[in-house]
Chains A and B, each alone.
Chain A
Amino acid sequence: MTPAADQPPPSGRFHGDAIGMGDLRVARDGGTLRTFLGSCVGLVLHDRKRRAAGLAHVMLPDSQGRDGPPGKYADTALAELLRLLDAVSAAGRTGLVAKIAGGARMFDFSAGTPIGDQNVLAIERILDGAGIPIVGRDCGGRHGRRMSFDVESGVVTIEAIGIETKTI
């Protein structure tokens, strides 16, 4: 995996090979990007032609102008992923696709729309507005996930405790 030259240095939330909450990462020419997800949503953008991809661990649906790591909010995460993907390859964006996973309801303690559902809806809306199709998803439920994205093949592997591993 070749890290993008323009992306921020690994933060304290990048543990080994797993991207932490609110963080994001881009890569090109192969490798694997991984993250653990509960109510958060993993957003993968993949540009097969440029052999580049990014993964953001989105915690909340809307920044509402607040500061924070760009991967933390759905609106800022997409913008930052696009900026970093452009930075790793001068070629124009073509055939960019998205895959998403997560958005679970880990606990049932709060009334109202679960934060996981809010995250999924926000990402769907933002991707739709940017004209980026979602070509794979594994969202909802009440369990955590480990999301692993193979940059070369574009395949996302979803692992969960007590549930058969799947690919999207």
Chain B
Amino acid sequence: MSEDEAAALEDLLRRGAGDASVALSKWLGRPATIAIKRLDRLPLEAAADALGSSAAPICVAAMTISGSVDGVLLLACDDASGLALCDMLLERPAGSATTWDEVERSSVLETANIIGCSYLGGIAAAARGGAAGLVPSPPLFVRDFAAAVMGGLLLERAATRDAVFVARTEFVVGGTPIRCALVFVPDAESLRDIEAGLDAGRSPP
């Protein structure tokens, strides 16, 4: 991917993040933004640390997306941020949620579903000319070491690639930054379609 294509991809992701921000704001009932801070091209082995490399666990809502684009999407948070999101959703005082019980898990899974599909809508439109038909799988809840989660995801969906693009996201809810990340790993065919869509978008009419 050339520098121009990478810049176009970053622009595309920013638009997707804008759509996801609107969805998250509606879902939480308060202002929320998801911003793309930086787009990096990293060797596959280095991308495993994108969510951190400490021994502290992270919680992840993971789902496959099929249709206009295919791939795997993750919403990843540290425990404190994920549980804080749950309290907002459930309209409970901050600090009410302390463990990942059924209701907290369901909350974060549904959040991933809503903002993930919004985020990917713009990407799908660029890839294959329309966002219609994005079908998410039932999301899975995983709580594990960050490096193990990312490593497992990358090997399952991107093992044949030498490098991947990592978009760093920043979540702000009600004016407060929270430590969450949105990760999308497209399948090889979808990645090619996205690149082709970026090329077409830059061509003169």
Q: Which of B62-112 contact A (CB under 8 A)?
A: 62, 64, 72
Tell me whether A4 is interfacial, beta carbon within 8 Å: no
Work out how many contacts link A and B, with CB atoms closer than 8 A.
112
The digit string for B139-163, where 1 denotes a CB below 8 A from any CB of A, is 0101111111111110111010010
- Whether B148 and A38, one on each chain, are in contact in the complex, defined by CB atoms closer than 8 angstroms, is yes
Question: Using Cβ atoms and an 8 Å threshold, which residues of chain A touch B11?
Answer: none
A23, B46: Cα distance in complex, Å: 10
Tell me whether B12 is interfacial, beta carbon within 8 Å: no
- Whether B151 and A107, one on each chain, are in contact in the complex, defined by CB atoms closer than 8 angstroms, is no
Could you tell me which A residues sit within 8 Å of B by CB distance?
Answer: 12-13, 15-16, 18, 20-23, 36-40, 59-60, 68-69, 72, 104-110, 114-116, 143-146, 159-162
The count of residues in chain B whose C-beta lies closer than 8 Å to any C-beta of chain A is 30
* Chain A residue nearest in CB terms to B48: A21
Closest chain-B Cβ to A32's Cβ sits at a distance in Å of 13
A38, B151: Cα distance in complex, Å: 6
- Of the candidates A60, A109, A115, which one forms a contact with B72 in the assembled complex, judged by CB atoms under 8 Å apart? A109
- Whether A23 and B144, one on each chain, are in contact in the complex, defined by CB atoms closer than 8 angstroms, is no
* Chain B residue nearest in CB terms to A102: B148
- Whether A23 and B142, one on each chain, are in contact in the complex, defined by CB atoms closer than 8 angstroms, is no
Given contacts A38-B149, A106-B152, A144-B149, contact A161 B72 (CB under 8 A): no
Given contacts A60-B159, A115-B159, A161-B144, contact A104 B53 (CB under 8 A): no
Given contacts A38-B155, A60-B155, contact A109 B45 (CB under 8 A): no
Question: Using Cβ atoms and an 8 Å threshold, which residues of chain A touch B153?
Answer: 106-107
- Whether B45 and A72, one on each chain, are in contact in the complex, defined by CB atoms closer than 8 angstroms, is yes
- Whether A143 and B144, one on each chain, are in contact in the complex, defined by CB atoms closer than 8 angstroms, is yes
- Whether A21 and B143, one on each chain, are in contact in the complex, defined by CB atoms closer than 8 angstroms, is no
- Whether A59 and B45, one on each chain, are in contact in the complex, defined by CB atoms closer than 8 angstroms, is yes
List the 5 closest pairs (A to B, CB-CB), nearest first. Answer: A144-B148, A106-B152, A38-B152, A22-B45, A38-B148
